[in-house]
Amino acid sequence: MTSSDLSLSDFSGQAALFPLPGATLFPNVMLPLHIFEPRYRCMVEDVLRADRYLAIALLRDGWQEQYESKSCPIHETVCLGRVIADERLQDGRYYLLMQGLTRARLIVEEQTDLPYRIGQVDPIPDLYPHTPVIDRTRRQAELVGYFRQVFPKLDLDSTLFGTVEDGVPLGELCDLIAHALRPRPEDAQRLLEQVDVDQRSDLLLELLKLQCRDTKEQNARKFPPGFSLN
C-alpha cells in the first residue's frame, strides 16, 4: 500500500471541485493556492470543516464565457488532493497548501444549491504494465539527465534527484519532474491523464527534449555578446 492509499483511507468518494484555467496539481507534489472568489471561500470553509479533500480540475478551452456558471466545462481527469495547511486572512481570503494524492476520474457531478461544484470521483492508481516497453531504470536516468540540462543551475540533488537513489517509482518521479517543469496547461493535462507510467514517461521525455532544445537555441542566440559602446 502506497502513502497515497493510506492518505485516502477516509475518502468518501465525494469531493469539492475546484476548476482552474492554468494550474495542474500532480500526485506527490505541493501546490500553493490563493482563494479569493466568494464562492470558493465558501468552498474552502466547508472543506476545512469536513475531510479537507479537494479535486483540482483544468478548465477546457472556451471556459471564459461560462466561467461564472457551474456548467463551465472541465476535464474529467482531475487530481484529488488534501489541504495540509491553511491561513484565513482578515478580509476572508485564504492561502492554502495542497498535497496531491492521486489521479481521479470525475464520475458525476452532484446537483446542489451550493455556490461551488461537488462531484463523485474515482481514484486512479498508476498502471505499470507487466511487460515493460521501456527500461525503467534507464528511463529514470534519461529524465533526470535532460532535466539537469534544462535547469543546470538548480541544486536539486538532495530533493528531486535524491528520490531516484531512494527507489521512488518511475510514475512518482514523472509527476515530480512534470510539476517542476511547469509545462503548458494542455501538456500538463496530457501527463495527468496518462495512467500508463511507461507512456507517461515517454510524453515527459518528449517535453524535456523539446525544452532542452529551446534552451540551447536561446543560449545560442545570446552569443556572441554585443560590443560595448565604451
Model pTM? 0.86
CA dist 70 and 29 (Å) reads 27
Give the domains, in start order, of the chain with CATH numbers. Answer: 3-124 (2.30.130.40), 136-221 (no CATH)
* Residue 111: pLDDT band with limits 50, 70, 90: very high
3-state helix, strand, coil in the chain (%, to 5): 35, 25, 35
* Cell numbers placing 134: 521501456
Answer whether residue 12 shows pLDDT above 70.
yes
Q: What percent of the chain has pLDDT over 90?
A: 70
* Cell numbers placing 194: 496518462
Helices and strands, counts by H and E, the chain: 7, 6
Q: Average pLDDT, whole number, for the chain?
A: 87
CA dist 120 and 190 (Å) reads 22
